[in-house]
Structure 1
């Protein structure tokens, strides 16, 4: 496919705008999601609100600095199970402001601005600042994104992994572990390029379409489907797949009649441990698709073109690259002959 060839070439020519110096010179000032954060030294005590921030810090070799975690969708990456087992989990979902502050952090690392932001469900950045606590929001949740629209926010531009690499690099600079940041970014870029190359060898149909289903607030209710500009949109674009959901919202609710009319060739289901909604359970998703008299008539369901993907990979995280690998591998085992 022509688009895949262009995508692979672009990956091999990625800019080095996030290249780091060898050592951090303090005091360090970073513009983070429109707020200037000043660091007099590398943080010693960190609390994370969001699995993405947690796993990036672990990947940078900073687990010993993490004093509490929260907001988990799936189990921690296997290579970090041992370290994670010794770190207090403040909450599976939103922690209280008090539980975070009681860990006496000098930095709170945040995945989603709706947790810590102008209308933060945990607290505002000012509330932490008033206590002398710095906050760092992952750039993937504010670069090319407007979170003032409510819910999961609206993308103002298409997500790319550059915002993930930016977050890795900035956190590595804040903690003065630049070599670890450089190695992690290099590994992710290599895996990204390899996944695209694998899909390129498949010679996929030019008109291939897909829909990503994260969850639903109730059985049979309008599902949360991936918009075109978020992490799933990036995966589809890189592999030359058309997203049947054209919304710019991160996770719009879309009625099933609309999804069925669009008749995607592939449906990707989020796999997670979280149980906030009934359809968080992937078995419930499959049960609906197989038994609903309308949904079961979709091409993807009838042909068994259903892919299970780590839910955290569907968010703008380092696991997005793993999701790209999952998608490329699954496609290699499917036939799209008429």
Structure 2
């Protein structure tokens, strides 16, 4: 079960116990503000009145910070919005389920565009380049988790030069909180995320998660070809490692394609498959994944399939977003139920 987020009152008690003042923890933003972001400096004379998000991770970060009223549009969704954000989301226009057009984004005249993936607005931006946005006076903020320690000019999804650091998620929350002058809420969120991660790690440790191996299956371009699975250095591998679980895939790519014969030989104890509303590939449908696993001559003989050790997880929990904490909690719970 997920631990509840910190409330302001609980945070105040924590701060008092540490001998700190709320002002010392989260002073108001002093404008003009300069923020270093993925190799560029962004300058703000005041908190942006409107923003547009490209990517569910950024959208739900805005909602977590209580900034839904600042959003003029969202796009690039993998899952339904988290239930706790439904009320905020109901009043925000969805520009596109996947990639929005450059014109639709700038048409909202936002003071900031927050982006989940650099390939959306990077040098080869699908929506547009950062320069194109900046030329019309719109700053673009890329979530640090997708650019720090990563080369996004290599491969479709980029290549991580360093292992994913959960601190980059905290940094994104805190920087957006600073830009919009809601630092206390940002500090509250990060404290809650750290507490949830620590609790999940403790649960996994007590339930022998370090004796389990696992495989993450995100999707497949076609069910008859090699699937996209989690390699080393990425978010999914971090989730496993944080709980002491072993990733059976040794590739240094974040989401390599690996043959089912190789996977079956590794015979992971647990299979974690992505659930998403996106339908770019047939295997985006988790029910089709389950049908394949139970019917294919290779996969149906894997121990995890025969014994029902399959975890269905929201796709955005496998990516650099605030949902990874729910994903880690789900894995810790599964480890307790799947112990040998």
TM-score scaled by structure 1?
A: 0.92
Pair 205,42 (structure 1): closer, same or farther in 2 beyond 3 Å: closer
Report the Cα offset of residue 72 of structure 1: 0.3
Match of 1:40 in 2: 45
Match of 1:213 in 2: 217
TM-score scaled by structure 2?
A: 0.91
Matched residues in 2 for 1:127 and 1:110: separation?
A: 14
Matched residues in 2 for 1:260 and 1:28: separation?
A: 53
Match of 2:312 in 1: 308
Contact map agreement 2:26 2:184 (CA 8 A) in 1: no
My pick for the range that moved more, 312-321 or 240-249, is 240-249
Report the Cα offset of residue 169 of structure 1: 0.5
Report the Cα offset of residue 160 of structure 1: 2.3
* Structure 2 residue corresponding to 1:169, chosen from 163, 169, 174: 174
Contact map agreement 1:57 1:63 (CA 8 A) in 2: yes
Provide the aligned length of Structure 1 versus Structure 2: 317
* Structure 2 residue corresponding to 1:128, chosen from 112, 128, 133: 133
* 2:248 equivalent to 1:244: yes
- Give 3-state SS (helix, strand or coil) of 1:118's partner: coil
Matched residues in 2 for 1:249 and 1:89: separation?
A: 32
* 2:276 equivalent to 1:295: no
* Structure 2 residue corresponding to 1:149, chosen from 150, 154, 171: 154
Report the Cα offset of residue 125 of structure 1: 0.2
Matched residues in 2 for 1:156 and 1:30: separation?
A: 23
Matched residues in 2 for 1:118 and 1:256: separation?
A: 35
The gaps in structure 1 that reach 5 residues or longer are 1-18
* Structure 1 residue corresponding to 2:110, chosen from 92, 105, 108: 105
The gaps in structure 2 that reach 5 residues or longer are 1-23
* Structure 1 residue corresponding to 2:58, chosen from 53, 57, 69: 53
Match of 2:333 in 1: 329
Q: How does 1:186-197 map to 2 (within 5 A)?
A: 186-197=191-202
String of CA shifts for 1:64-90, please: whole Å, max 9, x gaps: 100000000001111111111111000
My pick for the range that moved more, 179-188 or 239-248, is 239-248
* 2:278 equivalent to 1:274: yes
- Give 3-state SS (helix, strand or coil) of 1:136's partner: strand
- Give 3-state SS (helix, strand or coil) of 1:24's partner: coil
Match of 1:84 in 2: 89
Q: Which stretches of structure 1, 4 residues or longer, exceed 4 Å deviation after superposition?
A: none
Matched residues in 2 for 1:36 and 1:205: separation?
A: 42
* Structure 1 residue corresponding to 2:124, chosen from 119, 127, 140: 119
